[in-house]
Chain A
Amino acid sequence: DGGITQSPKYLFRKEGQNVTLSCEQNLNHDAMYWYRQDPGQGLRLIYYSQIVNDFQKGDIAEGYSVSREKKESFPLTVTSAQKNPTAFYLCASSIVRDSHEQYFGPGTRLTVT
């Protein structure tokens, strides 16, 4: 079955540590996205990528980094510079130049203490 996988489902880290969240898709979609979700704030765009080896900052990119070395993979690193990293992180993908309907993964809940 085609879809988006995110791992792990739950992640716990100590403050000051970098952590990488995985996102893999087998939908053959060109574009991939990372969102952060906090209660009452909807989804906010962190980074997006339209093609391999290219990505752009979203609205809240500070303290995050990404790479896009393969079409199917778009890992997100939450660095120690992110001041409030505890959140629910969602990865999505879409076909560029379509209606831009985005397909979402199941999410990773990151807790930093």
Chain B
Amino acid sequence: AQSVTQLGSHVSVSEGALVLLRCNYSSSVPPYLFWYVQYPNQGLQLLLKYTTGATLVKGINGFEAEFKKSETSFHLTKPSAHMSDAAEYFCAVSGTGSARQLTFGSGTQLTVLP
């Protein structure tokens, strides 16, 4: 079984400041890891994913995340926040078997202050 913990249900940063959203996972097999973003009343959009290979993954809109196996973490960062980054962010880990269902964290609401 796998699980995801997102530390901090709400994070506020000033425009131009560093964004850091934390995600820790547990998985009995080598994980696939994902970050999704959701704007109000919309579906989820993939920001980035880690499958195999390079542990630093770059995604859309200037976001990146680093897979750290020793820390079972996959934190999301962006060097400089923009007002348009305000949204809810979900970390997810894939399961086992052919279905490879995703298990989602409870989400982090990011607020960007002017």
A interface, CB within 8 angstroms of B: 4, 6, 31, 33, 40-43, 45, 48, 50, 56, 58, 88, 90, 92, 94, 96-97, 99-107, 109
Contacts and interface: CB of A to CB of B under 8 A. Distances in A.
Interface of B: 9, 32, 34, 36, 41-46, 49, 51, 90, 94, 98-102, 104-107
Secondary structure of the B contact surface, majority rule: loop
Contacts, number: 58
B51 A102 contact: no
Given A33-B101, A42-B105, A50-B98, A99 B43 contact: no
Nearest to B98: A96
Contact of B44 (A40, A99, A104): A104
A95 to B, nearest CB: 10
Nearest to A43: B104
